[in-house]
Amino acid sequence: MSQLGFLHPTGLGLSGSCTRSVSSHRDGFRIRPHRTRLHATQQKTAGKDGDAITTREKDYSEWYLDVVRAGELAESSPVRGMMVIKPNGMAIWDAIRDYLDAKIKQSGARNAYFPLMIPQSFLTKEAEHVEGFATECALVTHHRLRLNPETKQMEPDPESKLEEPLIVRPTSETIIWHMFGRWIGSYRDLPLCINQWANVVRWEMRTRLFLRTAEFLWQEGHTAHESAEEAREKAIEMINVYEDLCVNQLAIPVVKGIKSPMERFAGAEETYTVEAMMQNGWALQSGTSHFLGQNFAKAFDVTFNTSVEGVTDHVWATSWGVSTRLMGALIMTHSDDSGLCCPPKVAAIQIAIVCIWKKADQKEMVLGAAKDVAARLRSRGFRVELDDRDGMRPGAKYYEWERKVSLPGYRRRATIHKQVMHIENKNICPTGCSLADGDGTTGCGKRLCVLRSENWGTQVWSSCGREF
């Protein structure tokens, strides 16, 4: 977890036993061949304005930031390197959290919460650990502000200086192992499997929304075991949980492997990783699981009475985590030059209903029908946004939603049959084209998603035959 930089795939120490082939089609998700649409979108973004998205070809890094901005996922804050996660971004993280939390509980771990701040002396107990984190931590040194009588400015009150500085946690191994020392006495207390959802701080010099930020959100699991074998098995079990999350929930193909000694977590014996391949060839570390050996148990002197009378031993440990950095992998895997694409399982907004009317007397009818459709979709568990804004041109609305709500593998606009709507006003159709015919094909030959009226109330299908 100490390695937050981009890792080129050739830099990975891949273990044959842990590596599996990456397929571009997996588990029902279709990963789009993004490049095929470059030409069309290049034309579209040719007249770049303040809201436009830089093409990937022109500047991949700028493209990424444009997608994050246009999708209203996050933005930078007035605190250097710390981001604000906006509602669209938070909804994705909450969906990831819900899924992963259930999987972690299934693995036998229970949630707990440990202090945000760690005494400086704790961090220095494990030699490699302090080397890995001492140069990038936020230090709390005072606990009160005072008004300086001369400068008339607020300043840290010198009398409130702490005897020992506190470190805002960059990771929680040290404080958790201190507590494990209190809780573990016998083999009966093992395995002890704890998970924490928390914020952590690492004073990164160069930051980038989601990918590398001074503060980020994550879960960190910490486990203690009787034997090296059991601990190593747990570390591998959890990297498999992360692989499942990436592949089956986020539709991100990953390569699973073992980090080279250089790239290991500071304090680990072995670091397992899942690495995602970005469209420009970058590999992005998306989750890691560490076999810690007895390093932290020895640093914090955590021993247990084994099941053999009179024999004690240091416990064996793992830690494992994924962070909001995974959001970066998600965005870069699926999005294109038109903006954000997000797999439906975690999309903040799965369906946007854009209401269009020409004359004032049409407004009520259109809004009524749209609200009815929205309510029916919501009752079936879809996350629906209804755009009833007045005084905005249809083109501007489409442009905005196209970049916020996009499902990989599907065209972006949905036609709703008039048979479903029972409304003759064709402007309800958010495509702006004529209504789709029975098999979901318009006159211009483009395939569209349709809500089939005959299946209404039981199934919602796309024109390519997939349920969504």
Residues found near a copy of itself in the complex (CB under 8 A): 75, 77-79, 82-87, 90-91, 93-94, 110-120, 122-124, 130, 134-146, 154-156, 160, 165-168, 175, 178-179, 182, 188, 194, 198-199, 201, 203, 215, 217, 389
Nearest to 460 by CA among 402, 414, 428, 418: 414
To a copy of itself, the closest distance from the beta carbon of 408 in angstroms equals: 23
Closest CB to a copy of itself among residues 167, 340: 167
Give dist(CA 321, CA 239) in Å, integer. 9
CB of 86 to a copy of itself, least distance (A): 6
Give the DSSP H/E element, type plus range, for residue 420. helix 418-421
d(CA 142, CA 144): 6
Alpha-carbon gap, residue 76 to 214, rounded angstroms:
11
Torsional sign, CA 329, 333, 334, 335: positive
Q: Residue 280: phi, psi to the nearest 5?
A: -95, 10
**Closest distance to a copy of itself from the beta carbon of 459 (Å):** 26
Residue closer to a copy of itself by CB (options 179, 278) is 179
Query: From the CB of 393, what's the least distance to a copy of itself, in Å?
Result: 14
For the bound state, the minimum distance from the C-beta of residue 188 to a copy of itself, rounded and expressed in Å, comes to: 6
**Nearest CB to a copy of itself, comparing residues 186 and 280:** 186
Exposure letters 90-120 (e unless 16+ CB within 10 A, then b):
bbbbebbbebbeebbeebebeeeebebebbb
Query: How far apart, in whole angstroms, are the C-alpha atoms of residue 343 and residue 322?
Result: 18
Q: Which is nearer to a copy of itself, 58 or 110 (CB)?
A: 110
Q: Which is nearer to a copy of itself, 26 or 125 (CB)?
A: 125
In whole angstroms, how close is the CB of 87 to a copy of itself at the nearest point? 4
The whole-angstrom separation of Cα 84 and Cα 183 is 37
Token pair listed for 460: 């919602």
Cβ-based nearer residue to a copy of itself, 179 or 228: 179
Residue with smaller CB distance to a copy of itself, 41 or 171: 171
Q: How many CB atoms lie within 10 A of CB 438?
A: 11
Nearest distance in Å: CB 112, a copy of itself: 5
Give the separation between CA 415 and CA 434, rounded to whole angstroms: 9
Q: Which is nearer to a copy of itself, 167 or 448 (CB)?
A: 167
Contact between 92 and 73 (Cβ < 8 Å): yes
Q: Are strands 351-354 and 384-387 parallel, antiparallel or unpaired?
A: parallel
Closest approach of Cβ 232 to a copy of itself, in Å?
Answer: 24
Q: Which two tokens stand for residue 321?
A: 């985590």
**Residue 85 Cβ, how far from a copy of itself at the closest point, in Å?**
4
- Smaller CB separation from a copy of itself, 40 or 127: 127
CB of 390 to a copy of itself, least distance (A): 8
The phi-psi region of residue 263 (left if phi > 0; otherwise alpha if psi is between -120 and 50; otherwise beta) is alpha
Nearer to a copy of itself, 11 or 119 (CB): 119
Q: Are 274 and 255 in contact, with CB atoms under 8 Å apart?
A: yes
Nearer to a copy of itself, 179 or 433 (CB): 179
Shortest distance, position 378 Cβ to a copy of itself, whole Å: 11
409 three-class SS:
coil
SS3 sequence of 422-453:
CCCCHHHCCCCCCCCCCCCECCCCCECEEECH
